Amino acid sequence: MSAQPIKQVLTSDVTGAWLEGYDPGDRKFIKIGFLLLENGQTLADIIIAYQTWGTLNEAGDNAILIQHAMTGWSDVPGWWPNMVGPGLAFDTNKYFIVCPNVIGGCQGSTGPSSIAPDGKRYGSRFPAITIRDMVAAEIAFSDAIGIKKYKLAVGPSLGGMRSLEWAVSHPDRVESICTIGSSAVATGDQIGTASIQIRAIKSDPYFNNGDYYEQERGPIAGMGIARRIAHLTYRTESEMDVRFGRELQGDETGRFAVESYLDHQADKLAKRFDANTYIALTEAMNSHDIGFNRGGVVEALRAITIPVLVVSIDTDRLFPPRLQVEIADLVPKAKKLVTISSDFGHDGFLVESEAMSAAIRGII
């Protein structure tokens, strides 16, 4: 295999064009054909948006798959700073780094805002997808760009669910995985919190059952409420109190400073994310169960045959550490559990770059 960068099959960007003021990075696009989904439906003419860094070596054995979190995208430095580059944890002098946007996404990969085969946007017609469907698409994508086996598959949160699925269903395609702030199964608490977020979006008067792409306005308010709820689960109670407490914003609104902060987070997401994608990916996370049709979680984890590094954040209240302990305790070749101490909860994997880098270097 040539050491030159792989030639790409380019297509036009057919998704997310209605989003304004957002630069998703220098993406490439590739067609992977159709996919038979877990629910028996078929998703046709799939396009995957992705980005790469570094060069695939002559042997083709230095590729690393980074799997983004729910509202992440293919531009890893854009959502996970200080991790990809020369001399960094994902050292582009050594490794060929690949990050595709998931199916169901809105930053270039086929999702609810994409043009369906009939020439209209999918909207409410986009089929339900699961973690296993996402991984099936990642396998087809890897085949399309010529990657036979990854040195490592790594991801936080939703990405960690996918990396774990790779270890269970495709151990022949990856040497090892790293799952960060994630779990083997979605918990009742996670599903409950997520269901409220979905309800907020669907209750927006502009949602129109998911068919809002031809409207002047979409369900921005509903998604903003969902994001505010979610962001509180990403951070910690102590951070919110120490950082904001009961401080007022200092303007004529009379808002508390923490309200203004959450408004800002909602506004940022609205500029780059589609409400239907938010629902599709949230429901996929709710469906996550590594043990489904495999004899249960314990049997599925015990059947993993490759090395697994599990990273936990000690203050994570969305994916509490007990969920990572379960994986590390049950996987036969699990490395010693890495627990990162952070004041920032689930988002600690984004903030604590030095600790994350040290953890990653322990598995590559």
Q: Could you tell me which residues come within 8 angstroms of residue 321 by beta carbon, excluding any fewer than 6 positions away?
A: 312, 313, 314, 339
Q: Cα dihedral sign for 17, 19, 22, 25?
A: negative
Annotation marks residue 342 as catalytic? no
Closest CA to 156 of 142, 134, 177: 177
Whether 157 is catalytic is yes
The single residue of 157, 176, 183, 287 carrying the catalytic annotation is 157
Rg of the chain over Cα atoms, rounded to whole angstroms, equals: 20
Q: Three-state DSSP class for 243?
A: helix
User: Distance (Å, rounded) from C-alpha 364 to C-alpha 351?
Assistant: 21
Q: Enumerate the β-bridge partners of residue 154.
A: 66, 178
Residue among 274, 288, 346, 347 flagged as catalytic: 346
Which of 91, 133, 316, 347 is the catalytic position? 316
* Residue 129 near residue 99, CB atoms below 8 Å: no
Is the alpha carbon torsion for 185, 305, 156, 348 positive or negative? positive
Tell me whether residue 346 is one of the annotated catalytic residues.
yes
The tokens describing 64, both together, are 């690393």
The structure tokens listed for 240 are 């919110």
Distance of CA 244 to the CA centre of its chain: 28
Active-site residues, by number, are 157, 316, 346
